Amino acid sequence: MMENENLSTEACVEEEEPPKLVNGNDVQKLKDLSISHPTNEESAEVSDAPQKDEGKSKKKKEVPEQTDPPSIPVVELFPSREFPEGEIQQYKDDNLWRTTSEEKRELERLEKPIYNSVRQAAEVHRQVRKYIKSILKPGMLMIDLCETLENTVRKLISENGLQAGIAFPTGCSLNWVAAHWTPNSGDKTVLQYDDVMKLDFGTHIDGHIIDCAFTVAFNPMFDPLLEASREATNTGIKESGIDVRLCDVGAAIQEVMESYEVEINGKVFQVKSIRNLNGHSIGSYQIHAGKSVPIVKGGEQTKMEEGEFFAIETFASTGKGYVREDLECSHYMKIFDAGHIPLRLPRAKQLLATINKNFSTLAFCRRYLDRLGETKYLMALKNLCDSGIVQPYPPLCDVKGSYVSQFEHTILLRPTCKEVISRGDDY
Protein backbone atom coordinates (compact mmCIF):
# COMPACT_ATOMS: atom_id res chain seq x y z
CA MET A 1 0.00 0.00 0.00
CA MET A 2 2.69 2.49 0.99
CA GLU A 3 4.60 1.90 -2.27
CA ASN A 4 1.47 2.66 -4.30
CA GLU A 5 0.92 5.87 -2.34
CA ASN A 6 4.52 7.01 -2.99
CA LEU A 7 4.20 6.30 -6.71
CA SER A 8 1.05 8.36 -7.02
CA THR A 9 2.63 11.29 -5.12
CA GLU A 10 5.63 11.22 -7.40
CA ALA A 11 3.31 11.25 -10.41
CA CYS A 12 1.58 14.37 -9.05
CA VAL A 13 4.89 16.10 -8.49
CA GLU A 14 6.04 15.33 -12.02
CA GLU A 15 2.81 16.71 -13.49
CA GLU A 16 3.22 19.98 -11.61
CA GLU A 17 6.86 20.63 -12.70
CA PRO A 18 6.93 23.79 -14.89
CA PRO A 19 7.78 23.09 -18.54
CA LYS A 20 11.34 24.00 -19.53
CA LEU A 21 10.56 25.67 -22.93
CA VAL A 22 8.60 28.83 -22.34
CA ASN A 23 6.37 30.14 -25.13
CA GLY A 24 3.18 32.23 -24.98
CA ASN A 25 0.86 29.28 -24.24
CA ASP A 26 3.19 27.93 -21.59
CA VAL A 27 3.27 31.30 -19.82
CA GLN A 28 -0.52 31.19 -19.61
CA LYS A 29 -0.34 27.62 -18.24
CA LEU A 30 2.22 28.74 -15.67
CA LYS A 31 -0.06 31.58 -14.57
CA ASP A 32 -2.90 29.08 -14.14
CA LEU A 33 -0.64 26.81 -12.07
CA SER A 34 0.78 29.62 -9.90
CA ILE A 35 -0.56 29.96 -6.34
CA SER A 36 -2.59 33.13 -5.78
CA HIS A 37 -1.83 34.90 -2.49
CA PRO A 38 -4.83 35.21 -0.19
CA THR A 39 -6.27 38.66 0.54
CA ASN A 40 -6.44 39.91 4.12
CA GLU A 41 -10.06 38.77 4.43
CA GLU A 42 -9.27 35.32 3.05
CA SER A 43 -6.25 34.93 5.34
CA ALA A 44 -8.42 35.90 8.30
CA GLU A 45 -10.87 33.18 7.28
CA VAL A 46 -8.03 30.70 6.97
CA SER A 47 -6.70 31.56 10.44
CA ASP A 48 -10.21 31.17 11.84
CA ALA A 49 -10.75 27.79 10.22
CA PRO A 50 -8.66 25.68 12.61
CA GLN A 51 -10.44 27.29 15.56
CA LYS A 52 -13.79 26.31 14.07
CA ASP A 53 -12.50 22.76 13.62
CA GLU A 54 -11.31 22.73 17.21
CA GLY A 55 -14.77 23.72 18.34
CA LYS A 56 -16.28 20.94 16.28
CA SER A 57 -13.78 18.37 17.55
CA LYS A 58 -14.50 19.45 21.12
CA LYS A 59 -18.16 18.71 20.50
CA LYS A 60 -17.25 15.35 18.96
CA LYS A 61 -15.10 14.52 21.98
CA GLU A 62 -18.10 14.73 24.31
CA VAL A 63 -18.66 10.99 24.58
CA PRO A 64 -22.06 10.06 26.01
CA GLU A 65 -22.08 8.48 29.46
CA GLN A 66 -23.91 5.22 30.09
CA THR A 67 -27.44 5.69 31.43
CA ASP A 68 -29.00 3.91 34.41
CA PRO A 69 -30.51 1.48 33.50
CA PRO A 70 -27.98 1.03 30.65
CA SER A 71 -29.42 1.76 27.20
CA ILE A 72 -26.58 3.24 25.10
CA PRO A 73 -24.79 0.71 22.86
CA VAL A 74 -21.21 0.25 24.01
CA VAL A 75 -19.96 1.10 20.50
CA GLU A 76 -21.27 4.69 21.00
CA LEU A 77 -19.32 5.03 24.25
CA PHE A 78 -16.06 4.31 22.40
CA PRO A 79 -16.11 6.54 19.29
CA SER A 80 -12.57 5.40 18.40
CA ARG A 81 -13.97 1.83 18.11
CA GLU A 82 -10.99 0.75 20.26
CA PHE A 83 -12.21 -1.21 23.26
CA PRO A 84 -10.27 -1.54 26.53
CA GLU A 85 -7.98 -4.54 26.86
CA GLY A 86 -8.43 -6.85 29.84
CA GLU A 87 -5.98 -7.59 32.63
CA ILE A 88 -2.51 -8.41 31.30
CA GLN A 89 -0.50 -11.17 32.98
CA GLN A 90 3.07 -11.84 31.83
CA TYR A 91 4.25 -15.32 30.91
CA LYS A 92 6.79 -16.98 33.19
CA ASP A 93 10.05 -18.93 32.92
CA ASP A 94 10.53 -20.48 29.46
CA ASN A 95 8.04 -18.05 27.89
CA LEU A 96 9.50 -14.85 29.32
CA TRP A 97 11.19 -14.06 25.98
CA ARG A 98 7.79 -13.60 24.33
CA THR A 99 7.21 -10.28 26.15
CA THR A 100 9.81 -8.45 24.04
CA SER A 101 9.81 -10.56 20.86
CA GLU A 102 9.28 -8.32 17.82
CA GLU A 103 8.05 -11.29 15.78
CA LYS A 104 5.36 -12.07 18.38
CA ARG A 105 4.32 -8.42 18.54
CA GLU A 106 3.84 -8.44 14.79
CA LEU A 107 1.62 -11.53 15.09
CA GLU A 108 -0.52 -9.59 17.59
CA ARG A 109 -0.83 -6.63 15.23
CA LEU A 110 -2.31 -8.98 12.62
CA GLU A 111 -4.86 -10.30 15.14
CA LYS A 112 -5.92 -6.83 16.36
CA PRO A 113 -9.43 -6.89 14.76
CA ILE A 114 -10.27 -10.16 16.55
CA TYR A 115 -8.89 -8.87 19.86
CA ASN A 116 -10.99 -5.73 19.48
CA SER A 117 -14.19 -7.69 18.77
CA VAL A 118 -13.82 -9.90 21.82
CA ARG A 119 -12.93 -6.85 23.97
CA GLN A 120 -16.16 -5.20 22.85
CA ALA A 121 -18.09 -8.30 23.94
CA ALA A 122 -16.24 -8.18 27.28
CA GLU A 123 -17.08 -4.50 27.84
CA VAL A 124 -20.76 -5.30 27.28
CA HIS A 125 -20.48 -8.16 29.81
CA ARG A 126 -18.92 -5.85 32.43
CA GLN A 127 -21.58 -3.14 32.03
CA VAL A 128 -24.47 -5.62 32.06
CA ARG A 129 -23.29 -7.48 35.16
CA LYS A 130 -22.65 -4.18 36.99
CA TYR A 131 -26.26 -3.16 36.33
CA ILE A 132 -27.73 -6.57 37.22
CA LYS A 133 -25.81 -6.66 40.52
CA SER A 134 -27.31 -3.28 41.39
CA ILE A 135 -30.91 -4.50 40.99
CA LEU A 136 -30.63 -8.06 42.32
CA LYS A 137 -32.68 -8.71 45.44
CA PRO A 138 -34.56 -11.55 47.11
CA GLY A 139 -38.13 -11.89 45.87
CA MET A 140 -37.33 -11.38 42.17
CA LEU A 141 -38.86 -13.78 39.68
CA MET A 142 -36.00 -15.66 38.02
CA ILE A 143 -37.60 -15.26 34.60
CA ASP A 144 -37.79 -11.46 35.06
CA LEU A 145 -34.14 -11.39 36.09
CA CYS A 146 -33.08 -13.33 32.99
CA GLU A 147 -35.17 -11.26 30.59
CA THR A 148 -33.90 -7.98 32.06
CA LEU A 149 -30.31 -9.20 31.72
CA GLU A 150 -30.79 -10.51 28.18
CA ASN A 151 -32.59 -7.37 26.96
CA THR A 152 -29.78 -5.23 28.40
CA VAL A 153 -27.21 -7.34 26.52
CA ARG A 154 -29.23 -6.95 23.30
CA LYS A 155 -29.23 -3.16 23.66
CA LEU A 156 -25.59 -2.69 24.68
CA ILE A 157 -24.15 -5.06 22.08
CA SER A 158 -26.38 -3.65 19.29
CA GLU A 159 -27.78 -7.12 18.60
CA ASN A 160 -27.53 -7.95 14.92
CA GLY A 161 -28.38 -11.47 13.82
CA LEU A 162 -25.33 -13.72 14.05
CA GLN A 163 -22.92 -10.75 13.97
CA ALA A 164 -23.50 -9.56 17.53
CA GLY A 165 -25.61 -10.73 20.43
CA ILE A 166 -26.12 -13.24 23.22
CA ALA A 167 -23.70 -16.18 23.05
CA PHE A 168 -25.74 -18.66 25.12
CA PRO A 169 -28.73 -18.70 27.51
CA THR A 170 -28.43 -17.00 30.90
CA GLY A 171 -27.60 -19.70 33.44
CA CYS A 172 -29.01 -18.77 36.85
CA SER A 173 -28.65 -22.15 38.57
CA LEU A 174 -29.60 -22.21 42.26
CA ASN A 175 -28.00 -23.98 45.22
CA TRP A 176 -27.20 -27.63 44.37
CA VAL A 177 -27.86 -27.05 40.66
CA ALA A 178 -24.37 -26.24 39.34
CA ALA A 179 -25.01 -25.28 35.71
CA HIS A 180 -27.29 -25.18 32.65
CA TRP A 181 -30.50 -24.07 34.36
CA THR A 182 -32.55 -21.18 33.04
CA PRO A 183 -36.30 -20.80 33.55
CA ASN A 184 -38.58 -22.03 30.79
CA SER A 185 -41.64 -19.89 29.96
CA GLY A 186 -44.19 -19.90 32.75
CA ASP A 187 -41.62 -20.83 35.44
CA LYS A 188 -42.51 -19.19 38.76
CA THR A 189 -39.23 -19.72 40.65
CA VAL A 190 -38.41 -16.79 42.95
CA LEU A 191 -34.92 -15.82 44.16
CA GLN A 192 -34.65 -16.28 47.94
CA TYR A 193 -32.39 -14.69 50.58
CA ASP A 194 -30.71 -18.05 51.32
CA ASP A 195 -30.11 -18.99 47.68
CA VAL A 196 -26.68 -19.34 46.07
CA MET A 197 -27.13 -18.32 42.43
CA LYS A 198 -24.56 -18.80 39.66
CA LEU A 199 -25.10 -16.12 37.01
CA ASP A 200 -23.40 -17.39 33.87
CA PHE A 201 -24.05 -15.43 30.66
CA GLY A 202 -22.24 -14.91 27.39
CA THR A 203 -21.80 -12.20 24.77
CA HIS A 204 -20.27 -12.35 21.30
CA ILE A 205 -19.17 -10.19 18.38
CA ASP A 206 -18.79 -12.07 15.07
CA GLY A 207 -18.77 -15.37 16.97
CA HIS A 208 -15.92 -14.31 19.29
CA ILE A 209 -17.39 -15.37 22.63
CA ILE A 210 -17.00 -14.06 26.18
CA ASP A 211 -18.00 -16.76 28.67
CA CYS A 212 -17.92 -15.29 32.15
CA ALA A 213 -19.76 -16.06 35.40
CA PHE A 214 -20.06 -15.06 39.04
CA THR A 215 -22.04 -16.16 42.09
CA VAL A 216 -24.56 -14.16 44.12
CA ALA A 217 -25.43 -14.97 47.74
CA PHE A 218 -27.26 -12.45 49.94
CA ASN A 219 -26.47 -14.36 53.16
CA PRO A 220 -22.85 -13.68 54.28
CA MET A 221 -22.75 -17.23 55.69
CA PHE A 222 -21.88 -18.36 52.12
CA ASP A 223 -18.96 -15.92 51.66
CA PRO A 224 -16.21 -18.56 52.18
CA LEU A 225 -17.86 -20.80 49.56
CA LEU A 226 -17.86 -17.93 47.04
CA GLU A 227 -14.29 -17.01 47.93
CA ALA A 228 -13.15 -20.61 47.35
CA SER A 229 -14.32 -20.64 43.72
CA ARG A 230 -13.20 -17.05 43.06
CA GLU A 231 -9.67 -17.76 44.31
CA ALA A 232 -9.53 -21.16 42.59
CA THR A 233 -10.50 -19.49 39.28
CA ASN A 234 -7.82 -16.83 39.78
CA THR A 235 -5.29 -19.60 40.45
CA GLY A 236 -6.34 -21.39 37.26
CA ILE A 237 -5.86 -18.16 35.30
CA LYS A 238 -2.45 -17.56 36.90
CA GLU A 239 -1.26 -21.09 36.12
CA SER A 240 -2.52 -21.05 32.51
CA GLY A 241 -0.09 -20.29 29.70
CA ILE A 242 1.39 -21.43 26.42
CA ASP A 243 2.70 -25.03 26.64
CA VAL A 244 1.20 -25.49 30.12
CA ARG A 245 -0.33 -28.95 30.64
CA LEU A 246 -4.06 -28.92 31.38
CA CYS A 247 -3.58 -31.44 34.23
CA ASP A 248 -1.21 -29.02 36.01
CA VAL A 249 -3.84 -26.26 35.91
CA GLY A 250 -6.39 -28.68 37.41
CA ALA A 251 -4.05 -29.74 40.22
CA ALA A 252 -3.34 -26.09 41.19
CA ILE A 253 -7.08 -25.27 41.17
CA GLN A 254 -7.97 -28.21 43.41
CA GLU A 255 -5.25 -27.39 45.93
CA VAL A 256 -6.59 -23.84 46.43
CA MET A 257 -10.28 -24.88 46.33
CA GLU A 258 -9.96 -27.58 48.96
CA SER A 259 -8.04 -25.36 51.37
CA TYR A 260 -11.42 -23.71 52.17
CA GLU A 261 -14.17 -24.78 54.51
CA VAL A 262 -17.56 -23.18 55.09
CA GLU A 263 -19.94 -23.28 58.07
CA ILE A 264 -23.59 -23.47 57.03
CA ASN A 265 -26.25 -23.38 59.76
CA GLY A 266 -23.76 -24.60 62.37
CA LYS A 267 -22.32 -27.45 60.26
CA VAL A 268 -18.79 -27.22 58.80
CA PHE A 269 -18.23 -28.46 55.23
CA GLN A 270 -14.94 -29.06 53.47
CA VAL A 271 -15.24 -27.31 50.08
CA LYS A 272 -14.80 -29.66 47.10
CA SER A 273 -14.01 -29.09 43.43
CA ILE A 274 -16.71 -30.68 41.26
CA ARG A 275 -14.58 -33.30 39.53
CA ASN A 276 -16.71 -33.81 36.43
CA LEU A 277 -17.06 -30.12 35.53
CA ASN A 278 -14.36 -28.35 33.52
CA GLY A 279 -13.23 -25.16 31.91
CA HIS A 280 -12.82 -25.37 28.12
CA SER A 281 -11.24 -23.90 25.03
CA ILE A 282 -13.44 -21.55 22.98
CA GLY A 283 -13.60 -21.30 19.18
CA SER A 284 -15.44 -19.07 16.75
CA TYR A 285 -19.19 -19.72 17.22
CA GLN A 286 -18.06 -22.73 19.30
CA ILE A 287 -18.42 -22.47 23.07
CA HIS A 288 -16.70 -25.83 23.71
CA ALA A 289 -13.86 -26.11 21.20
CA GLY A 290 -12.39 -29.48 22.19
CA LYS A 291 -9.98 -28.98 25.09
CA SER A 292 -11.12 -29.36 28.72
CA VAL A 293 -9.48 -27.59 31.65
CA PRO A 294 -9.99 -29.87 34.69
CA ILE A 295 -10.55 -28.48 38.19
CA VAL A 296 -9.06 -31.50 39.96
CA LYS A 297 -5.71 -33.25 39.62
CA GLY A 298 -5.12 -36.22 37.31
CA GLY A 299 -6.39 -34.66 34.08
CA GLU A 300 -4.99 -35.05 30.57
CA GLN A 301 -1.45 -34.09 29.54
CA THR A 302 -2.61 -31.98 26.57
CA LYS A 303 -1.00 -28.54 26.43
CA MET A 304 -2.47 -25.07 25.99
CA GLU A 305 -1.27 -23.36 22.79
CA GLU A 306 -0.53 -19.86 21.52
CA GLY A 307 -3.57 -17.96 20.27
CA GLU A 308 -6.13 -20.10 22.09
CA PHE A 309 -9.10 -18.73 24.05
CA PHE A 310 -10.04 -20.53 27.25
CA ALA A 311 -12.93 -20.26 29.69
CA ILE A 312 -11.33 -20.87 33.09
CA GLU A 313 -14.17 -21.78 35.44
CA THR A 314 -14.30 -23.52 38.80
CA PHE A 315 -17.16 -24.94 40.86
CA ALA A 316 -16.98 -25.16 44.66
CA SER A 317 -19.40 -27.57 46.33
CA THR A 318 -20.48 -28.56 49.83
CA GLY A 319 -21.95 -31.78 48.37
CA LYS A 320 -20.35 -34.80 46.75
CA GLY A 321 -18.29 -32.79 44.27
CA TYR A 322 -19.92 -34.70 41.40
CA VAL A 323 -22.84 -33.67 39.17
CA ARG A 324 -25.47 -35.59 37.24
CA GLU A 325 -28.17 -34.49 34.77
CA ASP A 326 -31.53 -33.76 36.37
CA LEU A 327 -34.65 -31.55 36.10
CA GLU A 328 -36.41 -30.18 32.99
CA CYS A 329 -34.10 -29.30 30.09
CA SER A 330 -33.91 -25.69 28.88
CA HIS A 331 -30.51 -25.46 27.08
CA TYR A 332 -29.89 -26.80 23.56
CA MET A 333 -27.19 -26.35 20.95
CA LYS A 334 -26.74 -27.42 17.36
CA ILE A 335 -23.85 -29.87 17.13
CA PHE A 336 -20.89 -27.95 15.67
CA ASP A 337 -19.83 -30.49 13.05
CA ALA A 338 -23.21 -32.08 12.36
CA GLY A 339 -23.28 -32.67 8.61
CA HIS A 340 -26.43 -32.80 6.53
CA ILE A 341 -28.86 -35.23 8.12
CA PRO A 342 -32.12 -35.90 6.24
CA LEU A 343 -35.26 -35.16 8.26
CA ARG A 344 -38.70 -36.63 7.68
CA LEU A 345 -40.82 -34.35 9.87
CA PRO A 346 -41.64 -31.09 8.05
CA ARG A 347 -41.99 -29.36 11.46
CA ALA A 348 -38.45 -30.48 12.41
CA LYS A 349 -37.08 -29.10 9.11
CA GLN A 350 -38.87 -25.83 9.77
CA LEU A 351 -37.51 -25.60 13.33
CA LEU A 352 -33.98 -26.38 12.13
CA ALA A 353 -34.24 -23.50 9.66
CA THR A 354 -35.15 -21.16 12.55
CA ILE A 355 -32.21 -22.49 14.61
CA ASN A 356 -29.75 -22.13 11.69
CA LYS A 357 -30.88 -18.58 10.97
CA ASN A 358 -30.97 -17.25 14.53
CA PHE A 359 -28.40 -19.27 16.48
CA SER A 360 -26.29 -21.34 14.06
CA THR A 361 -24.00 -23.31 16.41
CA LEU A 362 -24.51 -20.99 19.42
CA ALA A 363 -26.54 -22.38 22.35
CA PHE A 364 -30.17 -21.36 22.81
CA CYS A 365 -33.05 -22.09 25.19
CA ARG A 366 -36.77 -22.62 24.86
CA ARG A 367 -37.53 -19.01 25.84
CA TYR A 368 -35.51 -17.83 22.83
CA LEU A 369 -37.65 -19.99 20.52
CA ASP A 370 -40.83 -18.63 22.17
CA ARG A 371 -39.54 -15.09 21.60
CA LEU A 372 -39.13 -15.80 17.88
CA GLY A 373 -42.78 -16.83 17.69
CA GLU A 374 -42.19 -20.59 17.57
CA THR A 375 -45.01 -22.62 19.16
CA LYS A 376 -45.69 -26.33 19.71
CA TYR A 377 -42.09 -27.18 18.85
CA LEU A 378 -41.21 -29.73 21.57
CA MET A 379 -41.81 -32.77 19.38
CA ALA A 380 -39.77 -31.26 16.53
CA LEU A 381 -36.99 -30.31 18.97
CA LYS A 382 -36.91 -33.86 20.33
CA ASN A 383 -36.68 -35.14 16.76
CA LEU A 384 -33.66 -32.87 16.09
CA CYS A 385 -32.02 -34.18 19.27
CA ASP A 386 -32.78 -37.82 18.41
CA SER A 387 -31.41 -37.27 14.87
CA GLY A 388 -28.04 -36.09 16.22
CA ILE A 389 -28.39 -32.52 14.93
CA VAL A 390 -29.11 -30.75 18.23
CA GLN A 391 -27.64 -31.64 21.62
CA PRO A 392 -29.75 -31.11 24.77
CA TYR A 393 -27.90 -29.80 27.85
CA PRO A 394 -30.02 -30.62 30.94
CA PRO A 395 -29.25 -28.97 34.29
CA LEU A 396 -26.23 -30.45 36.13
CA CYS A 397 -26.90 -31.11 39.81
CA ASP A 398 -24.90 -32.11 42.86
CA VAL A 399 -26.68 -33.81 45.77
CA LYS A 400 -29.93 -32.12 46.86
CA GLY A 401 -29.47 -29.78 49.82
CA SER A 402 -25.86 -28.89 48.93
CA TYR A 403 -24.58 -25.53 47.68
CA VAL A 404 -22.41 -24.79 44.65
CA SER A 405 -20.60 -21.55 43.72
CA GLN A 406 -18.87 -20.69 40.43
CA PHE A 407 -16.58 -18.00 39.02
CA GLU A 408 -15.39 -17.89 35.42
CA HIS A 409 -13.32 -15.72 33.07
CA THR A 410 -12.38 -15.85 29.40
CA ILE A 411 -8.64 -15.63 28.79
CA LEU A 412 -6.60 -15.30 25.60
CA LEU A 413 -3.09 -16.72 25.28
CA ARG A 414 -1.67 -13.92 23.15
CA PRO A 415 1.76 -14.43 21.56
CA THR A 416 3.39 -11.93 23.97
CA CYS A 417 1.24 -12.15 27.12
CA LYS A 418 -1.89 -13.59 28.70
CA GLU A 419 -4.99 -11.38 28.64
CA VAL A 420 -7.88 -11.92 31.07
CA ILE A 421 -10.34 -10.33 28.67
CA SER A 422 -13.44 -10.40 30.90
CA ARG A 423 -11.71 -9.09 34.06
CA GLY A 424 -13.51 -6.16 35.73
CA ASP A 425 -13.33 -4.12 38.92
CA ASP A 426 -15.74 -6.59 40.50
CA TYR A 427 -13.90 -9.91 40.01
Query: Is 200 tagged catalytic?
Result: yes
Residue of 211, 231, 239, 419 marked catalytic: 211
Residue of 123, 200, 231, 419 marked catalytic: 200
Query: Is 313 tagged catalytic?
Result: yes
Residue of 159, 187, 227, 288 marked catalytic: 288
Query: Is 288 tagged catalytic?
Result: yes
Give the separation between CA 374 and CA 286, rounded to whole angstroms: 24
Query: Is 144 tagged catalytic?
Result: no
Give the separation between CA 361 and CA 326, rounded to whole angstroms: 24
- Residues 284 and 208 sit within 8 Å (Cβ to Cβ): yes
- Residues 214 and 227 sit within 8 Å (Cβ to Cβ): no
Query: Is 180 tagged catalytic?
Result: no
Helix (H) or strand (E) holding 255: helix 246-257
Helix (H) or strand (E) holding 405: strand 404-413
Residue of 123, 195, 313, 398 marked catalytic: 313
- Residues 267 and 376 sit within 8 Å (Cβ to Cβ): no
Residue of 150, 239, 408, 419 marked catalytic: 408
* N- to C-terminal Cα separation, the chain: 44
Q: Where are the beta strands (DSSP E) in 142-278?
A: 164-174, 177-179, 196-205, 208-217, 261-264, 267-270, 272-273
Phi/psi region, residue 66 (left: phi>0; alpha: psi -120 to 50; beta: rest), is beta
Query: Is 408 tagged catalytic?
Result: yes
Give the separation between CA 348 and CA 386, rounded to whole angstroms: 11
Residue of 280, 331, 409, 419 marked catalytic: 280
Q: Which residues are catalytic?
A: 200, 211, 280, 288, 313, 408
